[in-house]
Amino acid sequence: MTRGLPMPEPTAVICGATAGVGRASAEAFARAGYRVALIARGEQGLSDTQAQLEALGARVLAIAADVADAPALEAAATRVEAELGPIDVWVNAAMATVFGPFSALTPEEIRRVTEVTYLGSVHGTLTALRHMRPRNRGTIVQVGSALSYRAIPLQSAYCGAKFAIRGFIDSLRCELIHDRSGIRLSMVQLPAHNTPQFDWARNKVGWRAQPVPPIHTPEVAARAVLRAAREAPRELWVGTASLKAIIGTLFMPGLLDRMLARQAWDGQLIPEREPEGRPDNLFEPVEGLHATEGRFGDQAKPRAIALSAASVGKLALGAGALLALGAGWALGRRGR
């Protein structure tokens, strides 16, 4: 590299970039000086998000593609590298869900949630690796959820997809370590956020849906995704609710089953009827609702703790050591 020349701006690709966590993350990368490629289905959402980021001074490329369509993602990545430059960060944030008991879901609905939420992340990762491997560098960030550890009622298809993503990422991480690859993987496990998904996800319950409190602003997630891109922790656990859900299910899963059976069903619903005939985005994008935030702004918290899984492990070991020392001290006193 010639001394004195400015470093080129890094390039980040955001899948699911036009609403909620994806859109907030795209803005965070733009503010951090990245060139940003936006991938989503809806043309209006892409146009609005592109204008928002360009107003910040960012160089932006918007591409309409469905993450369930692997060839479309590959074509999009080829355009990104040709028009923005080598892909440094790839963020898988696209998702789809259906609210309803499993008995009310159809095979087509379950397949579509799986194709978008799970296979969309697999397709994105495959595409990112094909472009990153020749350079042996780059970071892939998977937007996960506490629901990838602790499933809840009324979202069986979505929880299944999130569990599958975590297993896939863990397996791939082992392969990259085996190959001594310089490509980094990170998964961000999120709590509830105030996003538009609760107004455009398919709802088969009949009552309006809400995230399980505590609820956070999408910017909380965006800061975590940007941190994951920079530091690449194995996992980043965001919010006390995520910590409780993940740790709790490791030690007392049966108790949580019973607690969530009582609390999480009604906790996801509000006493308002879902409007009949409301469009949903399961198979087609819903124009007009592409925004960063949803309708729960008065409840959304702007801050949350974010700890790497490694840090949580060290804290747990430290706490265990202190308990052991305390027990030893107490036994020693009793012996004397």
Structure token digits, residue 126: 């495959």
207-209 and 139-143 beta bridge pairing: unpaired
Known active-site residue 158: yes
Q: Which of 34, 118, 149, 158 is catalytic?
A: 158
Structure token digits, residue 117: 């939420």
- In angstroms, the CA 219 to CA 227 distance is 12
- In angstroms, the CA 32 to CA 222 distance is 11
Query: What's the CA dihedral at 210, 119, 129, 165 to 10 degrees?
Result: 60
The DSSP call for residue 115 is: I
Contact 45, 19 (CB under 8 A): yes
Query: What's the CA dihedral at 206, 221, 319, 254 to 10 degrees?
Result: 20
Structure token digits, residue 188: 């961000």
Closest CA to 161 of 72, 76, 67: 67
Closest CA to 224 of 243, 238, 240, 245: 238
Structure token digits, residue 108: 């087509």
Output the CA torsion sign for 305, 307, 309, 310: negative
- In angstroms, the CA 98 to CA 283 distance is 11
| Catalytic residue numbers, as ranges | 158
